[in-house]
Structure 1
Amino acid sequence: MNKASAGVDDAAKTVEATIKIAEKMVDTLDTTKEFFKNLFTDPENKKKKKELEARVEEQTKKIEELAIKLEKLDETQSEAISRFVNISKKVHETMGPLMIAFSYDPTSETLKRAIQNLTKIKSITES
């Protein structure tokens, strides 16, 4: 295999990996948005406080993982993700329910971390 075709193969793999990251981001943000939308308003949730705290922590960790992945991408990859999917729109859609959840529990360190990491994702994808 010559160097040119090896370079094309590498580029194709990078694009493929970038698209997978973008798709995972969208899935995570959609799931997070739905989760936080009903967090404190669903009467069933109020009964399961401990379980709920664990799920909030789990969603927050997913957001943190996304932020870390984004920070590790090079400029070309993050630009490709921004163009492939409007991540900043997804972040904005997710931020609303998250802020509502935070208004119900403003002392939650986990919710603060989730908001900080969503903000970080937004700034990376919009730069």
Structure 2
Amino acid sequence: MRTLPIIWQRLVSADGTTCPRCRGTGEEVRRAVARLRTILEPLGIVPGLQVKEIDEASFAADTLQSNQILIAGQPLDAWLGGRTGSSRCCDQCGDNECRTLELEDQAYEVVPEELILKAALKAASALATSSRGDV
């Protein structure tokens, strides 16, 4: 089985909490990965989810790295033809501008499962047709 690497990273405060935006995206990522296991199994591909925590100092240096999803080493927005945006967040993030996904004139603070699936299936297609087994 080949692995389709999926990385989701978000700010985790010193007390172990994250903002509602990241919490929502985390739920969507986990649902998408569960569905991908079934969808990709016949192709000999298994999704490998890695969840990374960003500490407050790293977040302060680059707020747009929080709530980021990478699939096969590329940002989700690259697979979808979208772009990274930002909007004011809350809670653990304070008044910082945090990552959004901008796609087809719509901004997503919480990345929906359907878009994660779409990006992952594009990446899996590239993986399945790659002669070296990587994207």
TM range (shorter): under 0.3
Higher strand share: 2
Higher helix share: 1
The structure with higher relative contact order (CA 8 Å, sep 6+) is 1
